Amino acid sequence: MTIRKVAIDRGHGGIDPGAVGFVREIDVVYPWGNALFAHLLLAGFEPFFTHEDPRPREKVSIGARVRQANRVGADLFISVHANGVEDPRATGSEVWIYRRDSAFAFEIAEKVAPVLAMTFPDRGVKTNTSFGVLRRTKMPAVLLETGFVTNEGDARFLIERYLEQVTGVVDVLRGYK
């Protein structure tokens, strides 16, 4: 399959900061998503955001994000997130897809998962049929959990070295251009 148009969904935003730990999830995923946009554009893809930066008191619905990607006709949907749990020892990155029989999404996820891991554990490819951004898109979709904001080492990496993850993901996608 060929990828040309890439929908970039920067998770959370506005009144929803996502996970909070050593940093807030939105403080990680917005720069990460912005860098992904720029790197994909430079690599000859047609990236677009599922939503603009919401105002502080707004929340962008998952439905609106998915409708935007479906309307534009993306070839791939990438939702960017960072994990957070109570245990500060939890570490690593993971990639979520709707189902394993989503062949193309699974193929992309398997190639992207080790690229995200970089310096922390690769928690692998996982499935979830309840994530709206995976369930309601008409194109292959992956949800990236880039690391844990509740782990000091992961959080530091996500602030200081996230571009390494971004360029790795773009390198994977170049193989589908």
Instruction: Give yes or no for a contact between 65 and 133, defined as CB atoms under 8 angstroms apart.
Output: yes
Q: Which two tokens stand for residue 108?
A: 């992309």
- Could you confirm whether 145 is annotated as catalytic? yes
The residue behind tokens 């310096």 is 119
Rg (CA), the chain: 15
Q: Which of 25, 52, 110, 145 does the annotation list as catalytic?
A: 145
Collect all residues with Cβ–Cβ distance below 8 Å to 61 and sequence separation of at least 6.
none
Nearest to 94 by CA among 123, 131, 133, 127: 123
Q: Within 10 Å of residue 118's Cβ, how many Cβ atoms?
A: 17
Structure tokens at 66: 């998915």
Annotated active-site positions, please?
A: 145
